[in-house]
Amino acid sequence: MMIRTAEYSDAADLAAILNEIIALGGTTAHLTPVSGPIIRQWMDHDPEASSWVLAEQDGAVIGFQFAEPHSQLPPDAADIASFVKPGITGQGTGRAFFAATRDACRNLGYKWINATIRADNQSGLTYYSAMGFKDWHIDPAAELSDGRITGKISKRFDL
């Protein structure tokens, strides 16, 4: 497995992974499929204050993670999102790209990283806990864009 910085040319592969996760349902707050151009827009959100990394195995992208500023967080906090191709989980992919994201966030001057996870996403909650994140905010009434109430748990990793 190789970890590297994600580039614009990877956007279609990143979108395909996220779309596969969306199609399975039950883990991501994203409910609408995305395209390569949408991923590139996300990458352009605040590139000087963001980190985008991906994992490749045998030349294929198998997961990605990004951390960036968020309007509902203080300036010393980055918000993180992680996506691994279904069927690949449990092979150390998330641990590998979190090491790169953690180091990038330190280099960008962040003091902590926030992860907000659907309360019904047990695999996501387990992953972030395994990375050392601790619960800091629980919103049991949080709803998805389609109106379903799933609740959300925010976890914090101090750098």
Q: What is the pTM of this model?
A: 0.94
Could you tell me the CATH number of the domain that includes residue 111? 3.40.630.30
- The 8-class DSSP code of residue 91 comes to S
CB atoms within 10 A of CB 34: 17
- Domains held by the chain: number: 1
Per-residue model confidence as pLDDT tens digits over 16-44: 999 999 998 878 888 899 999 999 999 99
Per-residue model confidence as pLDDT tens digits over 90-145: 678 989 999 999 999 999 999 999 999 999 999 999 999 999 999 999 999 999 88
Confidence (pLDDT) at 89: 66
> DSSP strand E in 69-151: where?
77-84, 112-118, 134-139
**What's the domain range around 69?**
2-158
Per-residue model confidence as pLDDT tens digits over 68-81: 999 999 999 999 99
